[in-house]
Copies of this chain bind each other. A is one copy, B any other.
Amino acid sequence: MIQLNNKIYTCPVDVTLGFIGGKWKLLILSHLNIFEKKSYAEIRNNLPGISEKMLSQQLKELERDSLIDKNILSLKPYRVEYFLSGDGKSLSPLYEFISSWGIKHLKKHGIDYLQDQHLYK
């Protein structure tokens, strides 16, 4: 058992999962990995089905865990842009692997995502 920041992990895999686990984290992260900088609304519009609550909650946790960071573009009105931090970028191979594995899997089932992604909007 590994203890870190008052949490207990069984192994290094468990440690990493603590950061990227859950339904939305990897979707948000890999989205930011592709698009570099994105506003709150842009992220929301690219993650079909996410609620405002989930989005702001997950963004907050990702910031707390320093996988993402944000620039405050203006205060009144409040406008921001989110982006991957250094730590967040250090997971890039992961986002890319997971995405391309998904694409390969789809291809095995007759779906050519890269060619037809305009159809899946």
Tell me if B10 and A103 are in contact (CB < 8 A). no
Tell me if B11 and A27 are in contact (CB < 8 A). yes
Query: Is A77 engaged at the interface, CB distance under 8 Å to the other chain?
Result: no
Q: Please state the number of chain copies in the assembly.
A: 2
**A–B pairs, 25, beta carbons within 8 Å:** A1-B120, A2-B106, A2-B111, A4-B109, A10-B48, A11-B27, A11-B102, A11-B120, A12-B98, A12-B102, A12-B105, A13-B26, A13-B99, A15-B105, A15-B106, A16-B101, A16-B102, A17-B23, A17-B26, A17-B27, A17-B98, A91-B101, A93-B97, A94-B98, A97-B97
Residues of chain A touching chain B, judged by Cβ–Cβ distance below 8 Å, are: 1-2, 4-5, 9-17, 19, 21, 23, 26-27, 30, 47-49, 90-91, 93-95, 97-103, 105-106, 109, 111, 113, 120-121
